[in-house]
C-alpha cells in the first residue's frame, strides 16, 4: 500500500512554461485535494475533487487546473508559470466509502521553483 504518491519531487520552471504535477492514491479514497504550502502561510487549498469527474475550486485556484478521470489520479496543471507559483505542492486524499473517517493522507510533496 503506497498511499499517496507524487511526481516529480523537484522541478525548476522558467516563467511562462507549463507543467503537470502528478498525484496517485491506492487507498480507494473518494476525495482528493491539492494544497500549496509557503513559509509562514500554512496550507492553502487549490482544488479538490469528491469523485471521478467532479472537481471544484479551493481558496487559491488562479493559474491552476485539475482533472479527475479516475478514482486514483488527480493531476494538477500549471499553465504559464509565474514566480508567485514557487511553492511546495501537496496532494492529499480522504474517505473510503463505508468508513466514517475523514482524515486526509498526504503525499511527499513537489517542490517547484519558477524563475
Partner 1 sequence: EDQVTQSPEALRLQEGESSSLNCSYTVSGLRGLFWYRQDPGKGPEFLFTLYSAGEEKEKERLKATLTKKESFLHITAPKPEDSATYLCAVQGMNAGNNRKLIWGLGTSLAVNP
Pick between residue 60 and residue 82 the one whose CB is nearest to partner 1: 60
Question: Which residues are bridge partners to 94 per DSSP?
Answer: 31
Q: Which of residues 46-105 bind partner 1 (CB under 8 A)?
A: 48, 50, 56, 58, 90, 92, 94-95, 101-105
**14 binds partner 1 per the rule CB under 8 A:** no
Q: Which of 4, 66, 112, 114 binds partner 1 (CB under 8 A)?
A: 4
**2 binds partner 1 per the rule CB under 8 A:** no
Cross-sheet strand order for the sheet of 4-7: 4-7, 19-25, 76-78, 64-66
Binding site residues, partner 1, CB under 8 A: 4, 31, 33, 40-43, 45, 48, 50, 56, 58, 90, 92, 94-95, 101-109, 111
Amino acid at each position: 500500500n503506497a498511499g499517496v504518491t507524487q511526481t516529480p519531487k523537484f522541478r525548476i520552471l522558467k516563467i511562462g512554461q507549463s507543467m503537470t504535477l502528478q498525484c496517485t492514491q491506492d487507498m480507494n479514497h473518494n476525495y482528493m485535494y491539492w494544497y500549496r504550502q509557503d513559509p509562514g502561510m500554512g496550507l492553502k487549498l487549490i482544488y479538490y475533487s469528491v469523485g471521478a469527474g467532479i472537481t471544484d475550486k479551493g481558496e487559491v485556484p488562479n493559474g491552476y487546473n485539475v482533472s479527475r478521470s479516475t478514482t486514483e489520479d488527480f493531476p494538477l496543471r500549471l499553465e504559464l508559470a509565474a514566480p508567485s507559483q514557487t511553492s511546495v505542492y501537496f496532494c492529499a486524499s480522504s474517505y473510503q466509502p463505508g468508513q466514517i473517517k475523514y482524515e486526509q493522507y498526504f503525499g511527499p510533496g513537489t517542490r517547484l521553483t519558477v524563475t
